[in-house]
Amino acid sequence: MDDLSIRILFGRLMCDMGQWDQSQHFFQHLLNSYNEDLAMVEYSLGEVLQWKGEWSEARKYYDHAYDGIIHVKPTRFKDLANILFNIGEILYQEGKYEEACDYYEQALALRKKSILLPRMIGLAHRISNAIVWQVMLARRSVRFH
């Protein structure tokens, strides 16, 4: 994501400023541009939709972005890790803690390959939170049976 075009950066800036509808419209327009990294446009559109709370739509764009990047050489570990992390975030928000944990762990493994230590700490924290929720839910279900 370090080498994003000015247009993708502009769309992401709109998202960061909370202008989600404008950002979404802008990225949807960029989907038809042959001059842009389609996977990064899809990833960015997924982020906008995630911020808007449209998790199932966001997930579709993350899946498309992942499919577009997974076979690229050299491997784009950082981009793949970001996608998997955000999918984990959606699953976490949906209460699917075990599945979220799996995605966080995959993202962490890719982060290790890209040597991005600060984000790894955040991933480790999210994994521990997901595990705590799993334990709490398991205890709660045991009490009710």
From residue 21, alpha-carbon distances to 25, 36, 52, 89 in Å are: 6, 20, 9, 21
From residue 113, alpha-carbon distances to 63, 68, 79, 80, 107 in Å are: 21, 19, 12, 11, 10
State which H helix or E strand residue 80 sits in. Answer: helix 77-93
Distance CA(61)–CA(69), nearest Å, equals 12
Q: What is the pLDDT of residue 118?
A: 56
pLDDT above 60: residue 106: yes
Distance CA(25)–CA(111), nearest Å, equals 31
Q: Across all residues in the chain, what is the average pLDDT? A: 87
Backbone angles phi, psi at 28, to 5 degrees: -65, -35
Higher pLDDT, 61 or 126: 61
Q: What is the pLDDT of residue 52?
A: 94
Are 86 and 106 in contact by the 8 Å Cβ rule? The answer is: no
- Mean pLDDT, range 138-142, rounded to an integer: 76
User: Residue 119's closest CA among 111, 127, 110?
Assistant: 111
pLDDT above 90: residue 100: yes
Q: pLDDT tens for residues 67-77?
A: 999 988 888 88
State pTM to two decimals. Answer: 0.75
Q: pLDDT tens for residues 6-35?
A: 888 898 888 889 898 998 999 999 988 777
Exposed e or buried b for every residue in 109-122, given b needs 16+ CB within 10 A?
ebbeebebeebbee
Q: What is the pLDDT of residue 145?
A: 57
CATH numbers and ranges of domains, the chain:
1-72 (1.25.40.10), 77-145 (1.25.40)
